[in-house]
Structure 1
Amino acid sequence: MDLLKFQIIAFVPLLLCIPLAHGWGIDGHLIICRIAQSRLSRAANNAVSQLLPAYASDDLGSVCSWADRVRFRYHWSAPLHYIDTPDDLCTYQYKRDCKDADGIADRCVAGAINNYTNQLLTYGNGKSASQYNFTEALLFLSHFIGDIHQPLHVGFSSDRGANTIDVHWYRRKTVLHHVWDSNIIETAEKRFYDSNVDELIDTLQKNITTVWSTQAKAWAACSKTTCPDIYASEGIKAACDWAYKGVSEDSILEDDYFLSRIPVVNLRLAQGGVRLAATLNRIFG
């Protein structure tokens, strides 16, 4: 059986899972899903409402980190959160790069986005009702579209997306990957938004409809239902141009790094939200 299409027998409630931080941190995924849900068509909003577990209270953002919390329960899902690319090439190719550590094709975040998009396209088809868990497909897809927009989720193979590069974020020791998952966002929230993620979301949504309005239409465009190869190619470029650039083992990253990188993080969060909404709107009509 294709592990990427492995059928989960039962939905695992988020509240029963141990919180773990992978991909964007909790706030990053929350931001992307909240932006997306605000941009859904009526049909897509109805479908999402029907598929969300009751405890989510119709808030996709509240369960947008579910896929991280179950990755060690669903061991097969771990490779689906990222793409490893050849060191220093700064390019992405699906056939070359979308595989797991055993070389099994399609087992990367781009392949996962394609898979769960295809599953959700059969929603409402009676013949597929017993084949897929559509609630899980929605939560996986929402999470993975977020992950592919975190630049270091399309990072270099040797350092596992900068997970092995030790740095200091101001005075705190961490790894470069975690800086992009959480530290930049958390520092921005504390410094500019009184530690209120809702204010950051409001700012990004306003920018999407004003200063980014023209770009946002281009972000949402896709000749297929979803376009993860475009998102991944952007990701590795951002990783090379911004995440890795100027960083070495034990680098101390402070204001120079933070202030020059926060615009990139904001852009990727906004793009992720717009594209998740566009994908769901195309799936559900």
Structure 2
Amino acid sequence: MLRKSLSLLFAVGMTITTSSAYAWGQNGHRIIGELAEAHLTAQTRVAIQPLLEGDSLAEISTWADEMRSDPSTFWRKQSSKWHYINIDNPKAMHEHVHADLNDKEKVKHILDGIYYSINTLKSESKSIDEKRFAFRFLVHLVGDSHQPFHAGRGKDRGGNMIKVKFFGSDSNLHSTWDTKLIENENLSFTEFTRFIQTTNNEIIAEYLDSSPADWLLESNNIAEKVYNSNETEISYGYIYKYMPTVKFRLQQGGIRLAGLLNQIFDKDSQPLKEALKKTSNTANIK
């Protein structure tokens, strides 16, 4: 099951900085949503219908980015920090957690956002509008957590300040991993999803044996390897080297999103049934 998922004590050694980047771009998020939908249990499918309001997971997966154009204070001033975490001390990641967070104004980073969203969806006192907000954000944040540079370094804003040439055109490292590598495949999100879909139970079980903090540590580890390669001229060789990693992360994101939603909405879901039990002995991030 999602390893000790939401009862683990996580620590986040990080620096929070403002970032305007959108993880994965539209196609990446839609791929994760489309892939996840194929792995939902029947009970989960029924339970999420009032939250989807006729849309699909792929359709709502980009909502949290699209709403950043809304003029309200939350979307213009506060929502950006929900999308990422800059990890400066990976070894400290599993010492503290904000697992009981239920106030969206207290969200400091993506891990907080994931916990807030889960707690809201599990709450019996939250309104349907609050749950729709949390549901749409959760679908998006699981995707964000699998984009390596949404768990990158604070000093370069997750690769935004690292200039690269993408087939001779000016770009930056973050944008390359958000959109350009996927767009270069020239596939629709449904085509891309078909190519990376899996029904291999061993692979699925391996992906689900993890926690949200693990997903971010995985992303950080990939980002560090890319940083250390110092590659700024991106062409066919770079794509050959890193596109398997992009596909791998999208596949993981879709499977894990489905597993998380099944945990929340299907009490009989196995082997994930116990994973979202909360502990009262959690420590807040300081």
- TM-score normalised per structure 1: 0.76
Task: Determine if the alignment matches structure 1 residue 261 to structure 2 residue 218.
Answer: no
SS at match of 1:118: helix
Alignment of 1:1-285 (within 5 A): 22-54=22-54, 56=55, 59-73=56-70, 74=75, 75-86=77-88, 93=93, 106-122=107-123, 125=124, 127-129=125-127, 133-188=130-185, 190=186, 195-205=187-197, 208-210=198-200, 213-222=201-210, 227-241=211-225, 243-247=226-230, 251-285=232-266
Tell me the distance in 2 between the aligned counterparts of 1:185 and 1:97.
33
Offset from partner CA, 1:141-167 (integer Å, 9 cap, x none):
000000000000000010010011111
Q: Which runs of 5+ in 2 are unaligned?
A: 1-19, 99-104, 267-286
**Cα deviation, residue 97, structure 1:** 11
Tell me the distance in 2 between the aligned counterparts of 1:183 and 1:92.
32
* Larger RCO, structures 1/2 (Cα 8 Å, 6+ apart): 2
Offset from partner CA, 1:177-200 (integer Å, 9 cap, x none):
010001111112x2xxxx333221
Q: Which runs of 5+ in 1 are unaligned?
A: 1-19, 99-103
Instruction: Classify 1:164/1:95 alpha carbon distance in 2 versus 1 (closer, same or farther; 3 Å).
Output: farther
Tell me the distance in 1 between the aligned counterparts of 2:106 and 2:137.
19
**Cα deviation, residue 106, structure 1:** 4.9
- 1:117–1:283 Cα contact (<8 Å) kept: yes
Residue identity matched to 1:143:
H
Offset from partner CA, 1:1-26 (integer Å, 9 cap, x none):
xxxxxxxxxxxxxxxxxxx9611110
**Cα deviation, residue 92, structure 1:** 6.0
- 2:28–2:189 Cα contact (<8 Å) kept: no
Tell me the distance in 2 between the aligned counterparts of 1:77 and 1:96.
23
Offset from partner CA, 1:113-172 (integer Å, 9 cap, x none):
0110111112xx3x3337x61111111000000000000000001001001111111122
Tell me the distance in 2 between the aligned counterparts of 1:183 and 1:96.
35
Tell me the distance in 2 between the aligned counterparts of 1:139 and 1:252.
36
- TM-score normalised per structure 2: 0.76
- 2:34–2:190 Cα contact (<8 Å) kept: no
Residue identity matched to 1:281:
N
- 1:32–1:61 Cα contact (<8 Å) kept: yes
Structure 1 residue ranges (4+ consecutive) displaced by more than 3 angstroms after TM superposition: 89-92, 94-98
SS at match of 1:134: helix
Tell me the distance in 1 between the aligned counterparts of 2:233 and 2:66.
30
- Which residue is equivalent to 2:9? none
Tell me the distance in 2 between the aligned counterparts of 1:196 and 1:144.
22
Once the two structures are aligned, what percentage of the paired residues are identical? 29
Offset from partner CA, 1:91-126 (integer Å, 9 cap, x none):
56267999xxxxx9751111110110111112xx3x
Report how many residues are paired.
236
